[in-house]
Chains A and B, each alone.
Chain A
Amino acid sequence: MDRASRRGLSPRLWLAGGWLLLALLAAIFAPLVAPQDPLAQDLMLERLPPLWLDGAEPGYWLGTDSLGRDLLSRLIFGGRIAFIVAFAAAIAACLVGSTLGLIAGYFGGWADRIISRIVDIWMAFPPVLFAILLVAVLGTGLSSVILAIAIIDWTRFCRVIRAEAMGQSRMDYVENARIAGYGRIGIMLREVLPNVVPSIVALLSLEMGIAVIVEAILSFVNLSISTDDPTWGGIIAEGRLSIHQAWWVLVFPLITLILTVLSFSQFGEALKARFDPVLR
């Protein structure tokens, strides 16, 4: 198959990557791009509908909530927390999980038995309950949300990377490297790791999406960030209360959330295909 055309024509990669880039840039430059102050309440402007409906006000693109705050601006600012949590939690979970998975899968033996046992115990907890419990223990706040997600989800990386590393360790090129005098750790980093990188990348992106959801769930049950800063989950929780008067306060954050989560997983898959030397 022609490589160039494959690289050029991956609509999945472009759509998903495009949305993520747009949302990320908006979040980074939120003070510049948000049309309104996300915290400014104005009872005169409460429950304004989106711009294309009757009764809308210019400047309030997606309408306002029951306190008169601009929905679009709140979504843009909410993206900041979503992305910080996504990146920090996913990277932390990835570092811990991939390292342990690589060690368990490649070294096998007692290292594998211990690590696999811990993973089994971990997986016995329902994740959302686990998260709520952890945040209750760690206290609310950005860093404990990040920590909670990393603590729960490293097992996802560990399981997948362990299985892949185990398959790799049986390959003849690993044996060849041993004959050539390479040490165990050298082989793990040189021969095994490059072959699991595509999976790590895909999982990392997927995990970012999951972190966004978990953060939203925690905000939804009011366990996330205890400041007034808007979060997607928090906005959804508010929107749920006024669904009959102002459906847009629920619908737009839901769409934003779903698009972001889907984009992360699709982006990860597309990246994996691109990193994979055999598919490339």
Chain B
Amino acid sequence: MSACLDIANLSAVLPNGQRVLRSVSLSVQPGEVRALVGESGAGKTMIGKAVLGVLPSSVRIVEGDMLLEGEDLGRLQPKARRTLIGARTALIPQDPLTALNPSRRIGPQMTDRLVRILGWSGEKADMRIRQLLDEVQIRDPERVLKSYPHELSGGMRQRVLIAAAFAAEPRLIVADEPTTALDVTVQKQILRLIAALQREHGTAILFVTHDLGVVAKISQKVSVLYAGKVVEEADAAALFAAPQHPYTRALMAATPRYTDPFASLKPVDEAVLAGLAAEIAAADLAWRRPHG
């Protein structure tokens, strides 16, 4: 059986020639959660956008393949690609406020995708959405569906977006730091909710985060990203037991533990970063040669 998502040697550049993704390879098996960790600016969001076909126009893919359930996205016509991505994927975004249109009510924003992509009747879509709102533990769907986004709390908005993401039964969900913009108290609930729905629906998730603590809770597989390059990939359990790459070890030392929040945190070691920079510079040089 083919992977749900298979990215091979994906490189992307900015107009000035700078690489934002450096031969990234990663795969997500059906029903699996793969965490994509790395510090801010590492290119995590870029990978998510590349998969969903919404890269900024300034970012250009220069090599590599992306297969969504065995279909090569690069070979499809734009229209067919849009339809495929629309039907099989969904996004749980980082900021639940800007992900909802402020001038439209929640209800139609949630249903129009089901109607548009899956061709459902409005009635069927409405029923489906109510079912999902129940699954994300929204107890007054009537009020929520009639609300404008700004009338809901951040946590409620994220619940709505989670419900909308699962409603079309996508095979793959890209969750881009879905708890980062929320209050700490709400973060755990939302994380539990995503994990529960993921199990229930058997959806594969590419879970983007900079928080190793979150990784341990939700994912089976982990890819560690630094400066657009995957420096380590492993089973979550193996990674936490014995991180191989010095950067991963440094990242772990820099992550607070709930068991001992006052333990001293080390910033990521200078020597490790210098080593990484050299490694990446060498790789870039080797990469440039065959590409001119």
Whether both chains belong to one complex is answered with yes
Binding site for B on A (CB under 8 A): 108-109, 171-173, 175-176, 178-182, 190-191, 194-195, 197, 277-278, 280
**Most interface-central of A172, A175, A194 (chain B CB within 10 A):** A172
Kindly state the separation between the CA atoms of A191 and B54 in the bound complex, as whole angstroms: 16
Q: Tally B residues with Cβ within 8 Å of A.
A: 29
Q: List 25 A-B contacts (CB under 8 A).
A: A108-B57, A109-B57, A171-B98, A172-B93, A172-B95, A173-B98, A173-B109, A175-B49, A175-B54, A175-B91, A176-B91, A178-B53, A179-B85, A179-B89, A180-B112, A180-B116, A181-B82, A181-B85, A181-B86, A181-B87, A181-B117, A191-B104, A194-B104, A277-B103, A278-B102
Q: Is the CB of A182 within 8 A of B103?
A: no
Residues of chain A within 8 A of B83, CB atoms compared: 181
Instruction: List the 10 shortest-distance A-B pairs measured between CB atoms, nearest first.
Output: A181-B86, A172-B99, A194-B103, A180-B113, A173-B101, A172-B98, A277-B148, A277-B103, A195-B103, A175-B54
- Which listed residue, A109, A175, A180, A195, touches B102 by the CB 8 Å rule? A195
Residues of chain B within 8 A of A197, CB atoms compared: 103
Kindly state the separation between the CA atoms of A175 and B101 in the bound complex, as whole angstroms: 11
Kindly state the separation between the CA atoms of A131 and B128 in the bound complex, as whole angstroms: 58
Secondary structure dominating the interface of B: mixed
Binding site for A on B (CB under 8 A): 49, 52-54, 57, 82-83, 85-87, 89-91, 93, 95, 98-104, 109, 112-113, 116-117, 148, 150
Residues of chain B within 8 A of A190, CB atoms compared: 112
Kindly state the separation between the CA atoms of A191 and B98 in the bound complex, as whole angstroms: 12
Q: Is the CB of A176 within 8 A of B116?
A: no
Q: Is the CB of A179 within 8 A of B103?
A: no
Task: Tell me the smallest distance from the CB of B216 to a CB of chain A, in Å.
Answer: 28
Q: Is the CB of A179 within 8 A of B99?
A: no
Nearest A residue to B161 via CB reads A176
**Most interface-central of B54, B95, B103 (chain A CB within 10 A):** B103
Residues of chain B within 8 A of A178, CB atoms compared: 53-54, 82
Kindly state the separation between the CA atoms of A194 and B112 in the bound complex, as whole angstroms: 16
Kindly state the separation between the CA atoms of A153 and B19 in the bound complex, as whole angstroms: 45
Given contacts A175-B54, A277-B148, contact A180 B99 (CB under 8 A): no
Task: Tell me the smallest distance from the CB of A105 to a CB of chain B, in Å.
Answer: 15
Given contacts A172-B93, A195-B103, A277-B148, contact A179 B98 (CB under 8 A): no
Nearest A residue to B114 via CB reads A180
Kindly state the separation between the CA atoms of A194 and B102 in the bound complex, as whole angstroms: 9
Task: Tell me the smallest distance from the CB of B283 to a CB of chain A, in Å.
Answer: 30
Task: Tell me the smallest distance from the CB of A197 to a CB of chain B, in Å.
Answer: 7
Kindly state the separation between the CA atoms of A280 and B105 in the bound complex, as whole angstroms: 13
Q: Is the CB of A191 within 8 A of B101?
A: yes
User: Could you list 12 further interchain pairs (A-B, Cβ under 8 angstroms) beyond the known A175-B49, A191-B101, A197-B103?
Assistant: A173-B101, A175-B91, A176-B91, A178-B54, A179-B54, A179-B85, A179-B86, A180-B116, A180-B117, A181-B113, A182-B116, A194-B103
Residues of chain A within 8 A of B100, CB atoms compared: 173
Residues of chain B within 8 A of A171, CB atoms compared: 98, 101
Kindly state the separation between the CA atoms of A172 and B94 in the bound complex, as whole angstroms: 9
Task: Tell me the smallest distance from the CB of B145 to a CB of chain A, in Å.
Answer: 15
Residues of chain B within 8 A of A176, CB atoms compared: 91, 93, 99
